[in-house]
Amino acid sequence: MQSFLFGQEQLCSHEEEKSASSSKELARLFEKAKECHNCTLAASRQNVVFGEGNPFANVAVIGEAPGAEEDASGRPFTGKSGQLLDKMLKAAGFCRQELYICNILKCRPPGNRNPLKEEIRSCIPLLLEQLQIVRPKVILILGKVAANTIFENRLSLGAMRGKVTPWRGFDCCVTFHPAALLRNPHLKKEWLDDLQLMTDYYGTVGRKKNARENEN
């Protein structure tokens, strides 16, 4: 498959400054998250799974919540799903280090159940703050639960894929959660199609928006 990498170009000194400042802001927010007891998940967590990656990423990848392996390691998308995500990102021309990866909830719901409304309400301000710091050009949302949570709808995954949806000033694309690809490997082609749509969009609209922002 043709590579369609659109990672960080060579950073100019102004961008290096912005990247350093984003790292600092994210570190401050992480410290705040580690102390968070705003919902009941704080009582059962081993680790706050804050998020990681490029603090100045063009693409942010968002899942719903940490699972058991993430709770144990403190890192998002580890274990089998994470390994497959890395592989699929590579097939699409990305490496994990150039992206910013996190979840909507920072603490693991017991038994990997879906996030509850009050947990989402408590945790979404943290996600928004993270995104305001990183300021990605595109957000890739992984899975129906994460997309329903972010868009506050009950649409099927099929109804949310294949387009760019605005949310709180960000442009978002939706695709399958890597766990779904583990269960159904035939979905890999559709996953790559979704990433192609995202990069095509960024290659036209996103880069123009970026250029306009840099002019201002």
Which chain residues interact with ligand SF4 by CB under 6 A?
33, 36-39, 41-42, 48, 105-107, 119, 122-123, 126
The single-letter code of the amino acid at 73 is S
Alpha carbons 204 and 111: distance in angstroms, whole number = 42
C-beta of 123: minimal distance to ligand SF4 in Å? 3
Choice between 106 and 161, CB closer to ligand SF4: 106
Tell me how far apart the alpha carbons of residues 51 and 130 are, in angstroms, rounded to a whole number: 9
Cα–Cα distances in angstroms (integers) from residue 38 to residues 53, 132, 151, in the given order = 25, 21, 22
The amino acid at 10: Q
Q: Give the residue with the Cβ less far from ligand SF4, 42 or 91.
A: 42
Residue closer to ligand SF4 by CB (options 43, 211) is 43
196 close to 4: Cβ distance less than 8 angstroms: yes
User: For residues 108 and 137, which CB has a smaller minimum distance to ligand SF4 in the complex?
Assistant: 108
Minimum CB distance to ligand SF4, residue 85 (Å): 21
Query: What's the min distance (Å) between Cβ of 116 and ligand SF4?
Result: 10
User: Which token pair is 8?
Assistant: 């960080």
